[in-house]
Amino acid sequence: MFRTQVIGAVDDGYTSAEVYWEDTLVAAVYELPAGWKVDLYRSPRGLDLDAFLNALHAARTCLLQYVNRLGENPPEGLTRMGLSLWLLEKGDGTAWGINLRGLSDE
């Protein structure tokens, strides 16, 4: 069975959906200004190809809710944790269940 884990890939500068088969990372799906990308970390040989393609599609669909997924124009002065939260911000203004729009520097 496939599962997806969304991460704010701070070192890469974008939001990524990692696709796992059991405990093995199989692929990462992400969007760049040039379009959608898939990095394969394991050959899909031996996996149910239809299920794998469905998992990749589900990962892409999941990423659509993340408004900063492309990593373009991040706010200046963010810590690594702040950048990760920014990359994981959803359209409703939350990340990890935290209302980011309600946070202030005060």
The structural domains of the chain, with segments of one domain joined by +, span 2-92
Phi-psi region of 13 (alpha: psi -120 to 50; beta: other; left: phi over 0): left
Q: Is the pTM of this model over 0.95?
A: no
Q: Are strands 98-99 and 94-95 parallel, antiparallel or unpaired?
A: antiparallel
State the pLDDT confidence band at 104, using cuts at 50, 70 and 90: low
- Per DSSP, the three-state class of 81 is helix
Q: What is the pLDDT of residues 34-65, one digit of tens each?
A: 999 999 999 989 999 999 999 999 999 999 99
C-alpha–C-alpha distance, residues 26 and 46, integer Å: 12
Per-residue pLDDT reduced to its tens digit, 18-39: 999 999 999 999 999 999 999 9
